Chain A
Amino acid sequence: MSTEDTFHPLGEEWEGELEEMLDETEYDTDLGLEMARDAMRVTKGELSEAEFHERYHEDVLEEFDVDDRPTEAAWEEAKEADDEGLVERLADVDSEQERREVMKKMGAGAAAVGLGAWGTADNMAGEPEEPASVAAAQEDDDDGTQWGMAIDLEHCDGCLSCVVACSQENNLDMGVNWMYIFHYEDEDAGNDPKMMVRPCQHCSDAPCAKVCPTTARHVRNSDGLVLTDYDVCIGCRYCQVACPYGVNYFQWDEPDVPMADLDTDHVYDANGDWVDSRAPRGVMSKCTMCPTRQDGGYGDDNRGTTACEQACPPGIIHFGDLNDPESDPNQFLDEAREDPEKPSSFRLLEDVGTNPNIVYVGHEPGPNADQISAEEARDRGLGTAVSYEEIGLVDNRKTGNDEHDGLDGGTIGGGLSP
């Protein structure tokens, strides 16, 4: 599946350089690259150091005649002894002096491992800074990147530009609206039409990921994105059942756009997992927050952006790192909070404990809120409101519309419906 893809967050070019460098040494290139790949996994917490060392102990011995790195046995020993603390010891290995020694002993193969380990998720967006210690990278991610959005509902035009942009960028089927816009009324809050902008909420405590029987739906360690590994998903649809917001779209039949027509830069993320673009038949999809953009697949300019954000004419979608006080969403929120005219911010269904990463500023839909048609919204004064049909999309995927068959068109015996 993804063997051709770059595993390194700094991109294909960087990986190519590494490969060349390794080729020039007398040591095994494949082993070096494999180790580097797994070292990346260690930094992401998918693999423990002990497992990593255990896995390569034999190979490294064979290749370099020496392996000073701790094996599982040594790990256990260290845990027991624990006089100077395991974390410190492991961190020590990364100190400048030690690293040079290790490099001398092990040659470029080890260097590749070291480089791989540096490319921690945290500095994906910039150049490699200080080599982060493996142990530190495994610690809690609270102060790492957390992509999210602040959305200004008060200025949403209801024009559906974001829905179109997302659909095009991801080659979605008709009715698969990863981004979905509601025009709605709320009888408790006057006659004005209101707007709700609904991408996936990329919950920090995502129930969809919790219930998934395969780990296909996962929260990416490096930046908190909630993604679906299309190569692992079995299509049980439990994530869709458990998601409180109804943002999931199953691929019930063959997708309209074939695999060959997908932009290859827009398919695999930095981990080499197939998590972006429309899903293949039989698996689950939803808004991804454009991970290939965040990983640099669309160039550095597009890191920290999403297609929907860029397409929004009034610029009400503020995408960025919610853990960074200077990020676009946080700046917008700070301004909004200081402005006494602005309503307070909220998150959707905050009390169900999902910890969503979309923060809204504007009217929060009350218990009696009801979706209305775009025509209705226009009648009530929102001149820019556009319906899904008018813009060439499908709102209700099940029933479809005059131009596009819905899923019901494929149902066998569906005509029996009373």
Chain B
Amino acid sequence: MSTKTPSEADILRPINNTSKKYFIGLGLAGGAFAIFLAMWAYQLSVGLVITGLSDWGSGGGVTWGVYIGAFIWWVGIAHGGIILSAAVRLLGMDRYMPVARLAELLTIAGLSAAGFYILVHMGRPDRMVTSVLGNYHITVHNSPLVWDVTVITAYFVLTATYLLLTLRYDVTRLRDDLPGYFEPVYKMLTLGYTEKEDPVVERMVWWLALAIIIMAPLLLHGGVIPWLFALIPTMPGWFGAIQGPQFLTIALTSAIAGVILVSYAFRWAYEWEHIITDDVFRGLTLWLGFFALLFLWLQLQQIIGGVYAAPMDQSTVVSAMLGHPIYFGALSVVAAVLAYTFAQAIRPSLFTKKRSVAAAVAALLATLFEKVLFVVEGLMYPTFGLYAAVPGDYWPSLIEMFSVVGTIGMVAAFFMVVAKVVPVVELHAIEHLREGGHDHATDGGEEVDR
């Protein structure tokens, strides 16, 4: 472990130093996003025909594909903020404090990517305001898609509020060392700030964290996102109560993986070994394994239920899924992640950060593929199977595939830009580390094993 003492200068480093590598990185990320925007513009001009989608029924295709799968995936990744906030603000697991803000930023970025996917998926996104908001008072009673939009918006607003509140503290104290050209931004951020608000904000943040954490299982990935599918009785691959818990476990797996990647990237770029310590990665890796276990457990429930004595339509879709190389691949990868995380817990010498990063990348890929497959297979095996064209086939077009690259670019660029404006590690975290928060073993180091 490093002997360097964390300082304000450390967390200001991203803001005040910009390297050539940074510009290259930003160029790549921004470029990927820009290319996708151009592709989207093309899609808008000729129609969704350029995708690999088609009508289900006599047309023998699927009408939802990569766009919807990736939408769910991003919402899932956005749960990173929830988990870390829960750990730090509610359970007092202070060791994760240095990555809490990064995780919260991941929430904002992930939700933005998901929101963007909703637009990309639509035939007429220009009508979003008039048609959706204009009829909101009627449709909110019935349409799971409207519930989705509502909850995602609420979640976004809550997290943004939360972030802004905690930023006020930091920006006020670091103001003198922040660059002058962003002065208007800082002025806005700290408008009306007095030290008196600190305890109030602390309490507000606690309540906000609680609200978000309650929302996650009940409404977000444990609720309305799976309901988009789980409430459709004639698509047996989707229907059923297990989708709520199943979606949540997949979301949490990908979310932790996302936090590991972002944390690693920042630690690498700004030499934050003494801030985002190895210990943080060990802890996160264990969490990753734990969620992967839950993921596999619920898959097992579905497989057994689907092959033992299931109704015909359900056993058809489950056996089709089992026979699909992507399904098998995704589950094997998750199982490998699980094996690694538990092995390194038992034998700490097996742990390296690079291995954890590899496990995180694997988990992210597995969850992305699983999500897309879930959407597609569900649509391919409907209860009404008289059509010769059903199940049809689906292979995403280049544009659909590149949309994933484009949104990853969008999220990466978001982080790179934000890191130039505000500290992405909380001042509290530095203060805490300096006060000797190093004694993790006694400081909640065991929670993850419970």
> A: which residues have CB within 8 A of B?
175, 177, 180, 182, 184, 196, 207, 210-216, 232-238, 240-242, 244-254, 281-284, 348-349, 352, 365, 367, 369-372, 395-399, 407-408, 410-414, 416-418
Q: Which residue of B lies closest to A348 (CB)?
A: B384
Chain B, 46-96, CB within 8 A of any chain A CB = 46-61, 63-64
B392 at the interface (CB under 8 A from A): yes
B352 at the interface (CB under 8 A from A): no
Determine whether the beta carbon of A413 is less than 8 Å from that of B398: yes
B7 at the interface (CB under 8 A from A): no
Checking B48, B53, B125, B145 against A211 with a beta-carbon cut-off of 8 angstroms, the contacting residue is B145
A-B contact pairs, 20 of them (CB 8 A): A184-B386, A196-B386, A207-B232, A214-B127, A214-B132, A232-B131, A240-B55, A241-B379, A252-B53, A253-B47, A283-B123, A283-B124, A284-B123, A367-B312, A370-B386, A398-B61, A411-B51, A413-B398, A413-B401, A418-B395
CB B61 to nearest CB in A, in angstroms, measures 4
Checking B53, B58, B123, B145 against A213 with a beta-carbon cut-off of 8 angstroms, the contacting residue is B145
CB B125 to nearest CB in A, in angstroms, measures 7
Per-residue A-contact encoding for B129-141, CB less than 8 Å = 1, 0 else = 0111001001100
Report how far A284 CA is from B135 CA in the complex, Å.
18
CB-defined contacts of A240 to chain B, threshold 8 Å: 55-56, 63
Checking B49, B56, B143, B312 against A238 with a beta-carbon cut-off of 8 angstroms, the contacting residue is B143
Checking A235, A245, A414 against B397 with a beta-carbon cut-off of 8 angstroms, the contacting residue is A414
9 nearest A-B residue pairs (beta carbon): A235-B123, A246-B57, A282-B123, A413-B398, A244-B234, A410-B49, A371-B388, A253-B49, A397-B59
Determine whether the beta carbon of A234 is less than 8 Å from that of B59: no
Number of B residues contacting the other chain (C-beta, 8 Å)? 58
Determine whether the beta carbon of A180 is less than 8 Å from that of B58: yes
CB A163 to nearest CB in B, in angstroms, measures 10
B17 at the interface (CB under 8 A from A): no
Determine whether the beta carbon of A234 is less than 8 Å from that of B124: yes
Report how far A238 CA is from B387 CA in the complex, Å.
20
Determine whether the beta carbon of A398 is less than 8 Å from that of B54: yes
Determine whether the beta carbon of B386 is less than 8 Å from that of A182: yes
Q: Which residue of A lies closest to B313 (CB)?
A: A367
Determine whether the beta carbon of B55 is less than 8 Å from that of A250: yes
Given contacts A210-B142, A240-B55, A252-B53, contact A396 B233 (CB under 8 A): no
B393 at the interface (CB under 8 A from A): yes
Checking B51, B128, B233 against A234 with a beta-carbon cut-off of 8 angstroms, the contacting residue is B128
Report how far A212 CA is from B379 CA in the complex, Å.
17
CB B349 to nearest CB in A, in angstroms, measures 42
Given contacts A215-B139, A254-B47, A410-B46, contact A242 B401 (CB under 8 A): no
CB B419 to nearest CB in A, in angstroms, measures 34
Q: Which residue of B lies closest to A354 (CB)?
A: B234
Q: Which residue of A lies closest to B392 (CB)?
A: A398
B390 at the interface (CB under 8 A from A): yes
Report how far A234 CA is from B125 CA in the complex, Å.
6
B121 at the interface (CB under 8 A from A): yes
CB A273 to nearest CB in B, in angstroms, measures 13
CB-defined contacts of A416 to chain B, threshold 8 Å: 395, 398
Checking B52, B145, B395 against A236 with a beta-carbon cut-off of 8 angstroms, the contacting residue is B145
Chain B, 91-119, CB within 8 A of any chain A CB = none
CB-defined contacts of A207 to chain B, threshold 8 Å: 232, 234
B235 at the interface (CB under 8 A from A): yes
CB B146 to nearest CB in A, in angstroms, measures 5
Determine whether the beta carbon of A244 is less than 8 Å from that of B383: yes
B320 at the interface (CB under 8 A from A): no
> B: which residues have CB within 8 A of A?
46-61, 63-64, 121-125, 127-128, 130-132, 135, 138-139, 142-146, 149, 232-235, 312, 379, 382-384, 386-390, 392-393, 395, 397-399, 401
Q: Which residue of B lies closest to A180 (CB)?
A: B58
CB-defined contacts of A184 to chain B, threshold 8 Å: 386
Given contacts A240-B55, A396-B60, contact A211 B142 (CB under 8 A): yes
CB A284 to nearest CB in B, in angstroms, measures 8
CB-defined contacts of A182 to chain B, threshold 8 Å: 386-387
Determine whether the beta carbon of A397 is less than 8 Å from that of B149: no
Checking A177, A213, A349 against B383 with a beta-carbon cut-off of 8 angstroms, the contacting residue is A349
Checking B49, B128, B232, B387 against A411 with a beta-carbon cut-off of 8 angstroms, the contacting residue is B49
Determine whether the beta carbon of A245 is less than 8 Å from that of B384: yes
CB-defined contacts of B125 to chain A, threshold 8 Å: 234
Given contacts A244-B382, A398-B55, 13 further A-B contacts (CB under 8 A): A207-B234, A232-B131, A233-B124, A236-B145, A238-B143, A242-B232, A246-B57, A250-B48, A252-B47, A282-B123, A397-B59, A398-B59, A412-B50
Residue among A244, A252, A371 with most chain B CB within 10 A: A252
Determine whether the beta carbon of B146 is less than 8 Å from that of A407: no
CB-defined contacts of A247 to chain B, threshold 8 Å: 57
Report how far A287 CA is from B186 CA in the complex, Å.
57
Given contacts A244-B382, A282-B123, contact A411 B52 (CB under 8 A): yes
Residue among B55, B379, B398 with most chain A CB within 10 A: B55
Report how far A238 CA is from B228 CA in the complex, Å.
9
Report how far A414 CA is from B395 CA in the complex, Å.
7
CB A162 to nearest CB in B, in angstroms, measures 14
Report how far A408 CA is from B383 CA in the complex, Å.
25
Report how far A237 CA is from B336 CA in the complex, Å.
37
Given contacts A396-B59, A398-B54, A398-B389, contact A236 B49 (CB under 8 A): no
CB-defined contacts of B386 to chain A, threshold 8 Å: 182, 184, 196, 365, 369-371
Determine whether the beta carbon of B122 is less than 8 Å from that of A234: yes
Report how far A252 CA is from B44 CA in the complex, Å.
11
CB B149 to nearest CB in A, in angstroms, measures 7
CB-defined contacts of A369 to chain B, threshold 8 Å: 386
CB A358 to nearest CB in B, in angstroms, measures 13
Checking A216, A246, A281 against B56 with a beta-carbon cut-off of 8 angstroms, the contacting residue is A246
Given contacts A234-B131, A244-B234, A371-B386, contact A397 B55 (CB under 8 A): yes
CB A244 to nearest CB in B, in angstroms, measures 4
Report how far A14 CA is from B432 CA in the complex, Å.
80
Report how far A368 CA is from B54 CA in the complex, Å.
25
CB-defined contacts of B46 to chain A, threshold 8 Å: 253-254, 410
